[in-house]
């Protein structure tokens, strides 16, 4: 029997803030028939500076509640900082749930670079992770990989996407370290290893000292989720369904307006 729209469970997309929206917009293109629940742990934002064990416990605790309340079919963890830390713990704690993760796109970068110089722009949490070091060990030993942990970019992206001005100098000082020159070669790929950053890609391009490929994994994550979900031929998107959940319980007006712009009730 073919499933109907009403029988399809929603997809839950999770991030510490608004960064997961960069993944949500790709997921929607590939799965227009699905309902989406966007969860922002804004009460815990930013994740980048959290002590690891405390953040792990927070994320597991949140999911115990979220899964019970929303009963999704799949959860997309649209946050490198969360998934590189707690992805395996989530899968172990909730074995009945499918989690699609987000990890720094080091493997595709290592495959594509011509100069052999790759930079990974991420939160301080993600650059510290054993998971990130393992990705480099497994897939990029032939490259020179520079890890750049940015203290402020996630916050700046939050401000920028809500319509606040961000200064060129402030952005430049966060991305400058990504640009390496070595023996006549230059960095040619910068991995955007925080889902907030693609919102600022236009600014990065304008301020870059030379052109590089800014690698955004959003589409690949959406494709992975699509591949795991059955597609009912007659399924249509459930009417008026998609909504956002903020762990603070109190998103401000610019945030609610932003969510509405993404077709989410907040
Ligand atoms: N968007 C998150 C990521 O992909 C991190 C933002 C933060 O909470 O610092 O890593």
CATH code of the domain containing 241: 3.40.50.1860
Same-domain pairing of 75 and 157: no
pLDDT (0 to 100) of residue 240: 82
The tens place of each residue's pLDDT in the chain, 266 residues long, gives 344 545 589 999 999 999 999 999 999 999 999 999 999 999 999 999 999 999 999 999 999 999 999 999 999 999 999 999 999 999 999 999 999 999 999 999 999 999 999 999 999 999 999 999 999 999 999 999 999 999 999 999 999 999 999 999 999 999 999 999 999 999 999 999 999 999 999 999 999 999 999 999 999 999 999 999 987 777 788 878 999 999 999 899 999 999 999 999 99
Same-domain pairing of 138 and 239: no
Nearest atom (ligand 1) to Cα of 126? 10
Q: Which two tokens stand for residue 214?
A: 């800014």
* Domain, as residue range, for 158: 106-216
Same-domain pairing of 72 and 142: no
Asked whether residue 266 is domain-assigned, the answer is no
Distance 256 CA to ligand 1 centre (A): 20
Nearest atom (ligand 1) to Cα of 49? 9
Same-domain pairing of 202 and 232: no
Q: Is 16 marked as a binding-site residue?
A: yes
Asked whether residue 200 is domain-assigned, the answer is yes
| 178 is annotated as an active-site residue | no
Q: Which two tokens stand for residue 220?
A: 């690949």
Same-domain pairing of 91 and 177: no
Q: Is 196 marked as a binding-site residue?
A: yes
Last residue of a domain, one of 183, 201, 216: 216
Alpha-helical runs (H) found in the chain: 21-30, 52-70, 80-93, 106-112, 124-128, 130-139, 153-161, 168-175, 201-207, 218-228, 253-261
Same-domain pairing of 172 and 186: yes
Asked whether residue 4 is domain-assigned, the answer is no
| 143 is annotated as an active-site residue | no
Ligand 1 neighbours (beta carbon < 6 A): 15-17, 19, 45-48, 79-81, 123, 126, 154, 194-196
CB-count exposure of residue 94 (10 Å: 0-12, 13-18, 19+):
middle
CB 244 within 8 A of CB 12: no
C-alpha closest to that of 199 among 21, 48, 78, 71: 21
pLDDT (0 to 100) of residue 5: 46
pLDDT (0 to 100) of residue 7: 56
pLDDT (0 to 100) of residue 260: 96
Same-domain pairing of 152 and 118: yes
Nearest atom (ligand 1) to Cα of 196? 1
Distance 78 CA to ligand 1 centre (A): 9
Task: Look at the chain and report how many structural domains it folds into.
Answer: 2
Same-domain pairing of 91 and 71: yes
Same-domain pairing of 110 and 192: yes
Asked whether residue 5 is domain-assigned, the answer is no
DSSP class of residue 48 equals T
Q: Is 48 marked as a binding-site residue?
A: yes
Distance 67 CA to ligand 1 centre (A): 21
Bridge partners of residue 125, in order along the sequence: none
Distance 5 CA to ligand 1 centre (A): 32
Same-domain pairing of 120 and 187: yes
Backbone angles phi, psi at 117, to 5 degrees: -110, 115
pLDDT (0 to 100) of residue 232: 72
Q: Is 47 marked as a binding-site residue?
A: yes
Same-domain pairing of 233 and 156: no
Any idea which residue has 């390496």 for tokens?
A: 180
pLDDT (0 to 100) of residue 1: 39
Asked whether residue 90 is domain-assigned, the answer is yes
Asked whether residue 140 is domain-assigned, the answer is yes
Distance 111 CA to ligand 1 centre (A): 25
CB 22 within 8 A of CB 195: yes
> Ligand 1: which of 44, 84, 158, 195 to mutate, judged by most atoms within 8 Å of the beta carbon?
195
Nearest atom (ligand 1) to Cα of 19? 1
Same-domain pairing of 91 and 131: no
Asked whether residue 115 is domain-assigned, the answer is yes
Asked whether residue 125 is domain-assigned, the answer is yes
C-alpha closest to that of 198 among 246, 161, 149: 161
């Amino acid at each position: 029997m073919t499933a109907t729209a009403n029988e399809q469970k929603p997809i839950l997309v999770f991030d510490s803030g608004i960064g997961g929206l960069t993944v949500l917009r790709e997921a929607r293109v590939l799965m227009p028939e699905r309902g989406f629940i966007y969860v922002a742990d804004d009460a815990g934002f930013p994740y980048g500076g959290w002590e690891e064990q405390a953040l792990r416990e927070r994320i597991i605790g949140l999911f115990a509640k979220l899964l019970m309340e929303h009963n999704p079919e799949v959860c997309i963890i649209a946050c490198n900082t969360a998934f590189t830390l707690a992805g395996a713990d989530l899968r172990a704690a909730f074995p009945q749930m499918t989690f699609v993760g987000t990890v720094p796109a080091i493997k595709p970068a290592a495959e594509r670079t011509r100069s052999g110089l790759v930079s990974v722009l991420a939160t301080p949490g993600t650059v510290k992770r054993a998971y990130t070091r393992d990705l480099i060990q497994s897939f990029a030993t032939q490259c020179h990989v520079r890890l750049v942990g940015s203290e402020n970019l996630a916050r700046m992206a939050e401000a920028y996407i809500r319509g606040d001005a961000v200064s060129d100098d402030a952005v430049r000082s966060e991305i400058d370290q990504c640009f390496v020159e070595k023996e006549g070669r230059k960095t040619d790929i910068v991995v955007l290893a925080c889902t907030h950053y693609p919102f600022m890609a236009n600014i990065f391009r304008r301020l870059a000292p030379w052109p590089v490929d800014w690698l955004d994994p959003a589409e690949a994550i959406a494709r992975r989720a699509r591949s795991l979900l059955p597609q009912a031929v007659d399924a249509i998107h459930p009417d008026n369904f998609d909504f956002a959940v903020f762990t603070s319980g109190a998103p401000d007006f610019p945030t609610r307006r932003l969510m509405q712009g993404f077709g989410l009730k907040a």
